[in-house]
Structure 1
Amino acid sequence: MTVPEQPTLTDGVVTLRRWTLEDVEEAVAGHDEVIAHWFGWPVDGVTPERMSQAIERWHTAYAEDRSEVAFAVEAEGKLVGSVDLRRRDDGVGELSWLLFQGQRGRGFATRAVRMLADFALSEDRQGGLGYWRVEAKVEPDNQASLRVATRSGLRREGLRRIEQGHGDRDETASYVVLARLVSDPPLSEPESFRSLLNSFLPRKRAIGQLLVRDTAGRVLLCQLTYKRDWDLPGGVVEVGESPRLAVGREIEEELALEIDAGGLVLTDWLPPWGGWDDAVCLVFDGGVHDASILDAMVTQPREIRTAEFCTLDQVEERCADFTARRIRAALAAVESGVPGYTESGR
């Protein structure tokens, strides 16, 4: 296969061009402790000899099979950094970039990464690499690089955990994985921008619960298999699911009861606890029923040991303190007719 000559790419502000040995001195001078920190090498680890070797390696890799494609980044007539792409799998490349001392925070990296991603995802017969996916692995604390990646059109996919001795580095590390696919809409389209925001904006877990009482004023509680204390019936809201409908689904799945969820009576924010991230618990009104409705109950044995109508004294005895506070707050909201808001039941 004939490999096309490495092109020069530009968006009118930033230019990506082939590295030359004339760039060595300027590149070495631009490396500093910020670059050394994020790439994991000594501050004085980039020498003229090593930089020259890297350029020769890039030239060879491009000429042979384009398994590694590296560009010098120019802006305002100066060498400001580097951007490269290494083939990881068939049709998949991993992006890396850096800006030299004094050149950060001016948008050069975003432009460079976007242009290289466009080049990688372009069809091979048009001179591009013909990849179907480009990705980047960024440390969670590297906020500047996370901004560059997302502004370049890479969607956040998740956190990859690496155990000590089993990753690219010796120490335990985690990487945020961000990627762009050839099938993603163009960055100029509103759908693409919304999908990009959706990939990295914060998300909270939602929990739906049902406040069901009997004619004696007792509250329906479930004894769970995965924790010692009791709780209101309900569960986690699935992706794309209505919280109100989720409650009805959970009651039917776990207790084989059909109880319609009424209006929202309480919103309770749950802070991080015991390995869980924070969450929002939405308590809906399950109405007042005769205690005999439990005669038809069939518990889901994997999650529910049993369920009973309990007095407030039993609520205090059987529930965690924050659950008991939530139940009292929900009952007060039902009595007042005004939906309440609490944080950990307070």
Structure 2
Amino acid sequence: MDTVTASFFAAEGPPEAEFHPGIARRMAHKTVAAGALIRDPTGRILFVVPNYKPYLDLPGGIVETGEPPSAACRREVLEELGLDRPTGRLLVVDWTPGRDPWSDQVQFVFDGGVLDPATDLRPAADELTGVRWLPLEDATIRASLHRRLSLALTALTTGEPIHAEMGHRHQ
């Protein structure tokens, strides 16, 4: 547990006891993921090429138990690309339903900032086959990710984070 998380827990006091033992284990558990929207000076988006699915994706990944989404985003970008960058502000929180074999997810998109495309990136060979700098409209991605990234680009210009469900803005 990092020092920030430990200080959050310390400020909260002791854990709350269950009134009905075992209820917490029976509650639904969602997968949480965090990704970074990294752009180059021309506005192209940095996509990773996973070796375990047919579509491009954002740098990022699954949030570990007890890990804040922003810390997971920074850790995943470092693990996947060898790039240690502070996590910027939240752009989008998007829920996606489960589809076999995946459970439903809450996905956070953070501002990864602007990066020179000549930056030395080292894609993790165990999960990526490379990276691509592409305009959003040229990326081969799932429709829900396209919608989510469109919302993230909107959030960049408005300065307001957006709540979405399967890439559709929630009103």
> Where on the TM-score scale, by shorter chain, does this alignment land: which range?
0.7 to 0.9
Structure 2 counterparts to residues 43-58 of structure 1, below 5 A: none
Cα distance change on mapping 1:216 and 1:277 into 2, 3 Å: same
> Partners in 1 of 2:104 and 2:18 — Cα distance?
29
The 5 Å alignment of 1:1-346 reads 191=17, 193=19, 196-293=22-119, 296-315=120-139, 318-346=140-168
Structure 1 distance, partners of 2:165, 2:38, is 21
C-alpha displacement at 1:308, in angstroms?
A: 2.0
The SS at the match of 1:280 is strand
| In 2, Cα distance between equivalents of 1:223 and 1:244 | 22
Distance 1:199 1:225 in 2: 33
Distance 2:75 2:22 in 1: 31
Distance 2:36 2:73 in 1: 7
Deviation at residue 312 of structure 1 after TM alignment = 2.2
Structure 1 or 2: more helix by fraction: 1
Shift of 1:299: 1.3
Hey, what's the Cα distance between the residues in 2 that align with 1:256 and 1:235?
Answer: 14
| 1-structure distance, mates of 2:21, 2:74 | 30
Question: What letter matches 2:150 in structure 1?
Answer: R
1:65 aligns with none
SS in 2 for 1:284: strand
* Rounded Cα–Cα distance in structure 1 between residues aligned with 2:21 and 2:61: 27
Identity of aligned residues (%): 35
> Following the alignment from structure 1 to structure 2, what is the Cα–Cα distance between the partners of residues 291 and 252?
16
The CA distance in 2 between the partners of 1:199 and 1:312, in whole Å, is: 40
Count of matched residue positions in the alignment of Structure 1 and Structure 2: 154
Unaligned runs of 5+ in 1: 1-189
Shift of 1:313: 2.5
Secondary structure of the residue aligned to 2:37 is strand
TM-score (normalizing by structure 2): 0.84
**In the aligned structure 1, how far is the partner of 2:20 from the partner of 2:109?**
30
SS at match of 2:17: helix
Q: Which has the higher contact order (CA 8 A, sep 6+)?
A: 2
Larger radius of gyration: 1
Judged with a 3 Å threshold, the aligned counterparts in structure 2 of structure 1 residues 196 and 340 are, in CA distance, closer, same or farther, namely same
CA offsets 1:243-292 (integer angstroms, 9 cap, x no match): 10001111111111112111110011111123211110000111112222
Deviations 1:179-200 (A, max 9, x none): xxxxxxxxxxx53548633222
